Structure 1
């Protein structure tokens, strides 16, 4: 089983949906968790617009509760997938040599844009990007 950790700034929009989409696509072959660099949304549900975007794509994000990154989560993961380059840079600074080899951008060579402050259409676009990116980490749909 592959253990994936998705990370964004607050674990409020992108990384929770990425974890859900990866779990859905990967099935029993993957174990996925998500976290944020900051604890602002600790124990809070995902952004309502991301919950709605997930629902439109057939996913239920309502049970998500935010959590901040921990050393235990970093150690647990086989791969740590940052939603954008700024998150990746911060993770490089906090991971140290122990977990640095696990770090990558979720979309390999580009950022997943942060939809905070944008309209529902942007949230939907971001969710579609994230769902399309699941094949990079899990292979074909099971």
Structure 2
């Protein structure tokens, strides 16, 4: 669950699903609807491809309470997003919410170079280990 569901979260969804090898279901959504129904950012799609992930099926969507209830874990790319999720979902889902990288934010590559998107993608990919470990 991240800001626009356009850059970081589509990759996180693909990377977590890949590492989970069918044993986990991953959904992603953003806080805003600016990119609703649009594909992932082209630079992130290219960065994902370099890591072996296909983002072409992704279409952005906005978070809703049903998604928050469905989730076992609600992961935010940054502290500001986490705070907004707290305001939206209240205490009911407090035990599920955390930042994707634990104690730090995943930098938003929006408006930056392709190299920055790649660096972000590598960081998101590495973050899967925090949630799913080294699955066979």
- TM-score > 0.5 by shorter chain: yes
CA distance in 1 between counterparts of 2:32 and 2:115 reads 25
The residue matched to 1:11 in structure 2 has which SS?
coil
Of 49, 52, 63, which aligns to 1:58? 52
Task: Quote the Cα distance in structure 1 between the aligned partners of 2:25 and 2:6.
Answer: 19
| Alignment match, 1:134 | 128
In the alignment, structure 1 segments of 5+ residues that lack a partner are 1-6
> What do you get for the CA RMSD once the two structures are aligned?
0.7
Shift of 1:30: 0.8
Where structure 2 has 5 or more consecutive residues not aligned to the other structure, the ranges are: none
Match of 1:4 in 2: none
- Of the three residues 9, 16, 29, the one matched with 1:22 is 16
Structure 1 runs (4+) deviating above 4 angstroms are: none
Report the count of equivalent residues: 136
Residue pairs, 1:12-51, within 5 angstroms: 12-51=6-45
Deviation at 1:29, TM superposition (A): 1.8
Corresponding residue to 1:105 among 89, 92, 99: 99
Q: CA deviation at 1:101?
A: 1.2
TM superposition shift of 1:34: 0.4
1:113 CA displacement: 0.4
Task: Please state whether the residue corresponding to 2:98 is helix, strand or coil.
Answer: strand
Matched, 1:68 2:92: no
Q: Deviations over 1:13-60 (max 9, x none)?
A: 001110110000011221100000000011000000000000011111
| 2:69 equivalent to 1:78 | no
2:27 is paired with a residue of what secondary structure?
strand
